[in-house]
Amino acid sequence: MKNTVNPWFARIASLLLVSVLLLAGCSQTPAPAEPEGGTETDEETSVNTPEAKKDISVTVYDRGSVPAAEGTIEDNRWSKWLNEQGPANVKFVAVPRFESQQKLNVLFASSSAPDLIFEYAPHIKNPLIDQGLLMPLDDVIEEYSTTYKQMLEQYPALKKVGTKADGKIYEFARLAEVYPIHALLIREDWLKKLDLQVPQTTEDLYEVAKAFAENDPDGNGEKDTYGIAISLQSGQVVDQIFQATRWVVKDGTVTRNWDNFTAVTDFKKRLFDEGIIDKDFLNDKNGAKAKQDFVNGKVGIYPLQINWVSFAQNELTTLKKNVPDAVVTPIPYPKSPAGQFNPAFSNPVQATAVVNASTKNPDAVMKYIDFLVKPETANTLKNGIEGEHWKVGASGCPEPVSMDKRKAEVSWNGDFQMMSSTILDTKCGKLETGFNLSDPVQKEGFDMYKKAMQIYTDPSKPYVEITHPEHMPQLPEDIEAISGPMVKPIDDMFIKGILGGKGYTAEQTTKDAKDIWDKGNGKMIEDWFKQWYEQDSGNAFLAKDIYEVMEQQQSQK
């Protein structure tokens, strides 16, 4: 027998491995999340400023979108700029955008969380606050802040949003424009062709949808059109038209809403039974099929969650390519049995940053926040350096010197702008500046947006929900434990109602859903909400606060 492998090789390899294991156990690499400080900037700037900059660590979302030539999200022209111009030595810590919860949890669990944490999701931040891992900011603001403190005085909403159940401020927030993020779009050319009116009530909506599905509005002689789409987000928009949301304020108290669910289930049920919608809507998990039908000119009414600029660039452009004569327009939500509503709005006051309770330099964190909220900082991060990236254009607003340069060097830095209150720039900070009006389709998209702003931000119509979802109160753990497991069974029940055929009425569906609720001790959740509404809702940022901001913004025009 011949030796094909040297036995010594294996022996040495294993020895190596053992020693590696041991070495790994002994070597003391410093924990990465602890501040190390940008040492190069340290010396330069300390000459200019009287007191030395302090070290802080700050999270930044990573989306993998930084061009290779620009470095990484933690180390690039903008991180350097923030270090040079800002009041602190910032070490950036990347947090993966779509796994931020897990990453933050392990960082906190191993006490290596950064000082300043940027995070949108309330369901990630609230438990951290409850567990005492985040710092109350009232004293910090009082003692060290200038700019942000001023903002708090000027815009009390910022304070309201940042304040949590114990009455202390935990979150820094920013102001944003109020605009509709849901819309009900209709094919105006189809309306004309079939000689129909814009639906005023949900019953009209059903009639129009039925006509769109049955009377061959695209004129190809085939019955291949859908009246309306209800997959995923589209279905949620329809729910909102009927105010089929779990909690509603009625007679000065919050109640669990059931009747509106009956109404919307009955509505959807008719659509399904009569073939007005795509019968596969339930399996269209991301709404891609509905979108595909819409851009192919096969859907008459398209309720959707909308990003107006990207809608013009993508869906509308593709629709125009496939069906050049198509005319799309947003229409007001029709009047439902529960009333007539405005669609969901963008969050006008959004909490975006929290501070680690064990931070060593809260003063430096505060100064850094002050620096970030300054309009000049926000403008530079958004547009780049004047002369290099932008110049003042014909409209009086910044215009890119070169689109390519902007794309390569500026446009990816959005995650550094989480403290920017763009709306404070009343002239150039609005969404409408995002449309490229020289493109005819985008011009059309722009007109749709303008119309939507008019019909959807109507102060005389109520908001559907109690407030924007980001401002809904956080349920305490024991209530959550009751509520959480019931969400899916009840949602599923209503879907079964839609697909259940003639024998299973909407009323029966609601009864069965209510049954789950009662058996699952839903009463306790109701009591909790009632109590919250009576005692704490005064401190919460509710629909009326959104409307206040909206009216304020409208009056500035």
Partner 1 sequence: MAVRPSQTDAMSETRTSNRLKPSTVRLIKQNIPLMIMFLPGLLFYIIFKYAPMGGIIIAFKDFNLRDGIFGSPWVGMDNFVQLFNQAQSLQIIRNSFMISILGLAVGFPVPIILAIMLNEVRKLWFKRVVQTLVYLPHFLSWVIVGGIVLSLFALESGTINRWLEGIIGEPYPFMYEKVSWLIIYLGSGVWKEMGFAAIIYLAALAGIDPHLYEAGSIDGANKWQQMRHITIPGISTTIILLLILSVGKVMDVGFDQIYNLQNAVVSDIANVISLYIYQIGILRGQYSLTAAMGIFENLVGLVLILLANYIARRFNQGLW
Partner 2 sequence: MKSTLGEKVFYGVNYFVLLLLGLSCLLPLVHILALSMSDAHAIMSGKVSFRPVGFTMESFQSLFQGTRILDSLKNSIVITVVGITLAMIVTILTAYPLARKYFIGRRFFMLAFLFTMMFGGGTIPNYLIMKALGIINTYWALWLPALVNTYNLLILRTFFLGIPEEVEDAARIDGCGEWRLLGSIILPLSLPVLATLTLFNAVGFWNSFLAVLIYINDTQLYNLTVLVQNMIQSQSVLQEVVASQMMQSDDTAQITPEGIKAAGIITLMAPMVIVYPFVQKYFVKGALLGSVKG
31 binds partner 1 (CB under 8 A): no
Q: Which two tokens stand for residue 149?
A: 């403190």
Inter-residue contact 92 to 59 (CB < 8 Å): yes
| H/E stretch holding 524 | helix 522-535
When asked if residue 394 is in the footprint of partner 2 (CB under 8 A), the reply is no
Q: How far apart are CA 359 and CA 350, in angstroms?
A: 23
Q: Which residue blocks in 58-121 are alpha helix, DSSP H? A: 77-85, 100-109
Say whether residue 5 binds partner 2 (CB under 8 A): yes
SS3 content of the chain, % helix, strand, coil (to 5): 50, 15, 35
Interacting stretch for partner 2, rule CB under 8 A, among 40-48, 140-148, 206-214, 304-312?
Answer: 304-312
Residues β-bridged to residue 349: 175
Q: Where are the alpha helices (DSSP H) in 135-274?
A: 138-144, 147-154, 156-162, 188-193, 202-214, 232-241, 259-273
153 versus 492: smaller Cβ distance to partner 1: 492
* Residue 123 is a binding residue for partner 1 (CB under 8 A): yes
Helix, coil or strand: residue 336: strand
Judged by CB under 8 A, does residue 537 bind partner 2? Answer: no
340 binds, among partner 1, partner 2, none (CB under 5 to 8 A by kind): none
Stretch that binds partner 2, among 45-53, 56-64, 327-335, 536-544 (CB under 8 A): 56-64
Determine if 109 is a binding residue for partner 1 (CB under 8 A): yes
When CB distances are held under 5 to 8 angstroms depending on the partner's kind, the choice from partner 2, partner 1, none that residue 352 binds is none
- Binding partner selected for residue 514 from partner 2, partner 1, none, CB under the kind-specific 5 to 8 Å limit: none
Query: Does residue 69 interact with partner 2 by CB under 8 A?
Result: yes
Specify the residue, 30 or 132, whose C-beta has the smaller distance to partner 1.
Answer: 132
| Among positions 289, 374, 451, 530, the unique one binding partner 1 when judged by CB under 8 A | 289
User: How far is it between the farthest Cα atoms of the chain?
Assistant: 94
Strand order in the sheet with 171-175: 88-96, 54-62, 116-118, 349-355, 171-175
Name which of 393 and 485 has its Cβ closer to partner 1.
Answer: 485
Q: CB-wise, 129 or 466, nearer to partner 1?
A: 129
Among 12, 392, 487, 524, binds partner 1 (CB under 8 A): 487
Residues in region 305-324 near partner 2 by CB under 8 A: 305, 307, 309-310, 313-315, 317-318, 321-322
Footprint on residues 126-165 left by partner 1 (CB under 8 A) = 127-128, 130-133
In the region spanning residues 321 to 350, those forming contacts with partner 2, defined by CB under 8 A, are 321-322, 346
Which 3 state secondary structure label does DSSP give 474? coil
The interface with partner 1 within residues 489-528 (CB under 8 A) comprises 489, 491-493, 495-496, 499, 516, 519-520
Site for partner 2 in 102-161 (CB under 8 A): 102-103, 105-106, 109-110, 112, 120
Tell the smallest beta-carbon distance from residue 47 to partner 2 (Å): 30
**Closer CB to partner 1, residue 424 or residue 516?**
516
Write down the least CB distance from residue 83 to partner 1, Å: 30
Q: Which two tokens stand for residue 432?
A: 């409408």
What number of chain residues touch partner 2 (CB under 8 A)? 90
Task: Rule CB under 8 A: say whether 257 interacts with partner 2.
Answer: no
- Return all residues near 258 (Cβ < 8 A) that are at least 6 apart: 510, 513, 514
Residue number, 103 or 269, with CB nearest to partner 2: 103
- For position 18 contacting partner 1 by CB under 8 A, the verdict is yes
Cα of first residue to Cα of last residue in the chain, in angstroms, is 92
Instruction: Give, as ranges, the residues between 172 and 191 that touch partner 2 (CB under 8 A).
Output: 181
Determine the residue type at 57: S
Residue 479 beta carbon to partner 1: minimum distance, rounded to whole angstroms = 11
CB of 149 to partner 1, least distance (A): 29
What, of partner 2, partner 1, none, does residue 99 touch, CB below 5 to 8 Å by kind?
partner 2
Q: For residues 301 and 498, which CB has a smaller minimum distance to partner 1 in the complex?
A: 498
495 interface partner picked from partner 2, partner 1, none, CB below 5 to 8 A per type = partner 1
The torsion angle over the Cα atoms of residues 477, 479, 481 and 485, rounded to 10 degrees, is -140
Task: Classify the C-alpha dihedral 198-200-202-204 as positive or negative.
Answer: negative
DSSP structure string for 104-165: HHHHHHTT---SEEE---HHHHHHHHHTT-B---HHHHHHH-SHHHHHHHH-HHHHHHHB-T
CB 264 within 8 A of CB 228: no
**What's the burial of 508, exposed, middle or buried (CB within 10 Å: 0-12/13-18/19+)?**
middle
Binder to partner 2 among 190, 412, 456, 528 (CB under 8 A)? Answer: 412
Distances in Å between the alpha carbon of 150 and those of 4, 10, 141, 377?
A: 78, 69, 10, 16
Report 432-491 residues binding partner 2 (CB under 8 A): 433-436, 442
Q: Contacts with partner 1: how many residues (CB under 8 A)? A: 41
Per partner kind, with CB cut-offs from 5 to 8 A, the member of partner 2, partner 1, none near residue 487 is partner 1
Q: Do 522 and 256 contact (CB within 8 A), yes or no? A: yes
Report if residue 240 touches partner 2, rule: CB under 8 A: no
What span, in angstroms and rounded, lies between the C-alpha atoms of 13 and 15? 5
Question: Applying CB under 8 A, which residues contact partner 1?
Answer: 14, 17-18, 21, 25, 101, 105, 108-109, 123, 127-128, 130-133, 278-280, 282-285, 289, 477, 480-481, 484-485, 487-489, 491-493, 495-496, 499, 516, 519-520
